[in-house]
Amino acid sequence: MLPGSIQISGETLSGAEIRDICESLRENSVRLLSLRGCQLSERDFGHVCRAAAESRSLAQLNLNLGIVSNINRVKQLAEALKANRSVQSLFLHGSPLTDAGLALLNPALSIHPSLVALDLGDCMLGDEGINLICGLLPPDGAKSGLKELTLSANPGVTSKGWGRLAIAVAHSSQLRVLNLDYNPLGDQVAGMLAVAVASSRTLEVLDLEGTGLTNQSAQTLLDMVENYPTALRTLILAENNISPELQQQISDLLSEGEEEEETEAREVTAREKNPWICQNNSGSQMVLMTSGLGDSLLAETEM
């Protein structure tokens, strides 16, 4: 039987429910475990962590909205992650970790062999926490690292911390999604992030919703998108003091880039599928119709 999911939100969990969850984890029948905003005792939280440590099927663990509510729980979760080898996505949004809690969790995060997505939004982090997170974004080719990172609503981080993150993003060979929404970044930090995006070869999504940006930073981002080839496909700028015209210009440019890539990908795929497609020096295509294959091939390239 394929692993399934257990998703519970905002409930007080009984001992019997915890036993069922732990049994399913140990039987490797759970791929996704979400206990978002649930209430459970210290003892039961420990049971869940120990079962998660033994699970070989668990790929996504969601403990959002205050589940990891104290240092003792952070320690238990860290021990579980040290033993676990399967978790790919860890969501701790809304947990009062602080930098001290993240320091306890970080050794387990940094050595985990499968972790690629991490949500530490609204976790009361500061600059020291950001420094630890940068270690999860190793420079080009050093080792595997995060592909998705959420740091929404951590207002304790200063421009120094965000600058450190921007440097790490610029040199990360893995990161594809970065969510920084609802942080008081301002135009200065946005400028640093623009440089990071221009340098990154992988970053496809950047969420800057509600981050105190103005037309100044929007113009910088527009210049970046217009003049530098990047992997960026989605830039979220809602709830900022940015004109609709500038937002639309950025959106249009990103859309154009995506369409061009899709067209190029289809052309490459078509050439690989059939040797009768040739490329001439001017960049136009010539389709040689042989044995009726030309029509079907044309249909393929237009899909």
CATH assignment at residue 215: 3.80.10.10
Count of Cβ atoms closer than 10 Å to residue 23 Cβ: 12
Q: 289 lies in a domain?
A: no
Q: Are residues 109 and 151 in the same domain?
A: no
d(CA 115, CA 25): 18
Q: 302 lies in a domain?
A: no
Q: Are residues 250 and 219 in the same domain?
A: yes
Q: Are residues 109 and 141 in the same domain?
A: no
Q: 34 lies in a domain?
A: yes
Q: Are residues 132 and 252 in the same domain?
A: yes
The pLDDT assigned to 138 comes to: 86
Q: 294 lies in a domain?
A: no
Contact between residue 116 and residue 147 where contact means Cβ atoms under 8 Å apart:
yes
Q: Are residues 145 and 223 in the same domain?
A: yes
The pLDDT assigned to 65 comes to: 96
Q: What domain range includes position 243?
A: 125-261
Work out whether the CA dihedral 62, 67, 69, 70 comes out positive or negative.
Answer: negative
Q: Are residues 30 and 141 in the same domain?
A: no
Strands (E), 58-202: 60-62, 89-91, 117-119, 148-150, 177-179
Domain count, the chain: 2
Q: Are residues 141 and 178 in the same domain?
A: yes
Q: 183 lies in a domain?
A: yes
The pLDDT assigned to 142 comes to: 60
pLDDT in tens, the chain (303 residues): 467 999 999 999 999 999 999 999 999 999 999 999 999 999 999 999 999 999 999 999 999 999 999 999 999 999 999 999 999 999 999 999 999 999 999 999 999 999 999 999 999 999 999 999 999 998 766 667 899 999 999 999 999 999 999 999 998 888 999 999 999 999 999 999 999 999 999 999 999 999 999 999 999 999 999 998 999 999 999 999 999 999 999 999 999 855 555 544 454 444 444 443 334 343 333 332 223 333 333 333 333
Strands (E), 116-181: 117-119, 148-150, 177-179
Q: 273 lies in a domain?
A: no
The kind and range of the H/E element at 33 are: strand 30-34
The pLDDT assigned to 196 comes to: 95
Q: What digits encode the pLDDT tens for the residues 35-74?
A: 999 999 999 999 999 999 999 999 999 999 999 999 999 9
Q: Under the phi-then-psi rule, with left for phi > 0, alpha for psi from -120 to 50, and beta for the rest, what region is 199?
A: alpha
Q: Are residues 80 and 150 in the same domain?
A: no
State CA 292 to chain mean position distance.
46
Q: Are residues 131 and 37 in the same domain?
A: no
Q: Are residues 41 and 96 in the same domain?
A: yes
